[in-house]
Amino acid sequence: MPYWRLSSFYLFYFASLGAMLPFWGLYLQDLGYSAMAIGQLMAILQATKIVAPNVWGWIADHTGRGMGIVRLASLLSWLTFATIFVVQGFWQMALMMVVFSFFWNASLPQMDVVTINHLGSRLRRYAGIRLWGSIGFILAVLVLGALVQRQGSGVVPVMTLGLQVGIWLTSLLVFERPAEVRPVQDSTSILAVLRRPEVAAFLLAGFLMQTSHGVYYAFYSIHLTQAGYASDLIGALWAWGVVVEVLVFAIMHRLLERFGARRILLVSLGLAAVRWLLIGAFVSQPAVLILAQTFHAATFGAFHAGAIHLTHHYFTGRLQGRGQALFNSLVYGAGGACGSLGSGYLWSEAGPLAAFAASALAAAIGLGIAWRWVDPARRY
C-alpha cells in the first residue's frame, strides 16, 4: 500500500482547506463584501459539491479511471484559481469560485475511493491516512494566521494557490488500483440502495450535520474578529480543533471496532448541538471556545470517519464511486450550501447568536433522525 503517497495528497488537500475556510471570509470582508455576499460566495464552495462529485463519480464508475480524474480535476482547479488575481466584483468572483470549486470538489471523493481500494480489507486504517489531511490543515492555519496578522489577508490567495499546485503534484504520484468486484451486489441499482430507510436517514442526518456547520465555516473567524481576537489566535483556535481531530483519527479504527459507526454518528451530532451553542453564547470566554473547538474531534473527525465507513458498507462494488460522490453531494454539498446561505441571512438579520442557535437546532434534529432510523440493530 502506498501509504506516504496517499497521505501526501490528503496533506495538501486539507492544507488548502485550512487556508480557505478560516481566512477566506476575512479576505472577502477586507475586499468590501457584505455578510450576505460572503455567505453566498462561501455557499458556492459547498454547492458545487451537489453536482461535481456525481458527474465525476459517474465518469469514474464507467471508465475505471478514478485516479486520472483526480489528476485532471486537480490540474484544472489550480489553473482556475490562479485567475483570482484578475477577477473584479461579485459576479466575476462568483464565476471563478463556481468553476474552481467544480474541479476542486471532484477530486476528494474519487481519492477516497482510490484509498479504500488500496486498503482492501484494512478499511479501518483509512483514518490513519486521513489524519495527514488534518496535519496539513493545522500547519496551514497556524502559518497563515501568523502571516495574516503581519501582512494582512492578501496573503490568503497566494498561499492557497501554492497548496492547490501541491495537490496536483501529489496526485501524480498515486497509481490506480481496481475495486474489488462483487457480482451479486453490483447488480443492485443505486436507487434501490437509496430507498432503504436507514440509508435515507443516514444521508438526511449527515445533511443536517453539515447544515449546522455552515455558520462555522463562513463566519467563525469573522465572529472572533468582531469579538477582538487577533488573527494568529484565531488560527490557533482553528488549529486546536484539528489537533484533537488528529488524535481521534489516530485511534478511530479502535473506536469503530468497539462502538460501531452508528454510535459514533449519534455522539457526533449531539456534541455538534452543544458546540454551536457554546460558540454563539460565550464568544468572549476563551476557555469556553477552547472547549468548543475540542468538540471538533467529534463533529468533524469522528463523524467523517464513521460516515465514510457507513457509506462504504451501503454502496458496494461498482456503486462505490457514485456512493461516495452522492454522500459528498447531499451531505457536504447541499448541507454546507444551505448552512452558509442560511447563516448569511441570519447573521445579517438577527445576529451571530441566532445563527449559531439555528445551527444547534439542525444538529439536534439530525440526532433524532439518526437515533430513530439509522440501522439501530447493526454495528459496523
Q: Which 3 state secondary structure label does DSSP give 154?
A: coil
> Which grid coordinates are listed for 354?
441566532
Q: Using alpha carbons, list the distances in angstroms from residue 280 to 108, 168, 221, 368.
A: 31, 37, 12, 22
Burial 365-380 (b: 16+ CB within 10 A, else e): bbbebbbebbbeeeee
What does the pLDDT read at residue 185? 46
For 302-314, give the secondary structure using H, E and C: HHHHHHHHHHHHH
Amino acid at 161: L
What does the pLDDT read at residue 187? 55
Number of neighbouring beta carbons within 10 Å of residue 311? 24
What does the pLDDT read at residue 2? 77
What does the pLDDT read at residue 178? 60
pTM to 2 decimals? 0.81
Domains present along the chain, CATH in parentheses: 3-175+188-373 (1.20.1250.20)
Q: Which 3 state secondary structure label does DSSP give 296?
A: helix
What does the pLDDT read at residue 223? 96
CA nearest to 374, candidates 204, 205, 198: 198
Number of H helices, E strands in the chain: 16, 0
Contacts of 10 (CB under 8 A, 6+ apart): 111, 129, 130, 132, 133, 136
What does the pLDDT read at residue 234? 95
Q: Which 3 state secondary structure label does DSSP give 351?
A: coil
CA nearest to 9, candidates 147, 119, 94, 112: 112
What does the pLDDT read at residue 174? 86
Give per-10-residue mean pLDDT for the chain (380 aa). 83 93 92 93 88 79 81 95 94 96 86 80 71 88 92 94 95 75 57 89 96 95 95 94 86 86 94 98 96 95 88 79 79 92 94 96 97 74
What does the pLDDT read at residue 296? 94
